[in-house]
């Protein structure tokens, strides 16, 4: 089962949970599974049926270009990476 890693700034929506094992054949399905557990989290990850602005996804250690449609293996690790702000 793929493992989704929740970035630190979003963990208040998961009660502090750092990683979650969820079913999904692609990134979209993993996010949908996360939505059933943490309904407020999905709004940070998806906007207008696309990855949210400023969110990158890494699957098995590499940034992916296919976004929501990136296929996963049963043992994939998915990291949601928020943009860093500078000021």
Task: Tell me what pLDDT residue 23 has.
Answer: 95
Per-residue pLDDT tens for 7-55?
Answer: 998 899 899 999 999 999 999 999 999 999 998 888 888 888 888 888 8
- Domain regions of the chain by residue span: 3-82
Superfamily of 3-82 according to CATH: Beta-grasp domain (3.10.20.30)
The predicted pLDDT at position 83 comes to 76
CB-based contact 37:79 (threshold 8 Å):
no
Q: In whole angstroms, what is the distance from residue 41 CA to residue 35 CA?
A: 7
- Whether residue 41 contacts residue 6, with contact meaning beta carbons closer than 8 Å, is answered with yes
Whole-model pTM? Answer: 0.87
pLDDT of residue 87: 52
Query: Using CA atoms, how far apart are residues 15 and 26, in angstroms rounded to an integer?
Result: 25
């Amino acid at each position: 089962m793929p493992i989704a890693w929740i970035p630190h700034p979003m963990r208040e929506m998961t009660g502090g949970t750092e990683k979650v094992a969820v079913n999904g054949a692609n990134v979209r399905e993993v996010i949908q599974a996360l939505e059933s557990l943490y309904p407020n989290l999905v709004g940070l990850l998806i906007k207008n049926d696309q990855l949210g602005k400023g969110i990158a996804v890494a699957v098995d250690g590499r940034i992916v270009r296919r976004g929501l449609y990136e296929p996963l293996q049963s043992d994939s690790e998915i990291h949601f990476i928020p943009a860093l702000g500078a000021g």
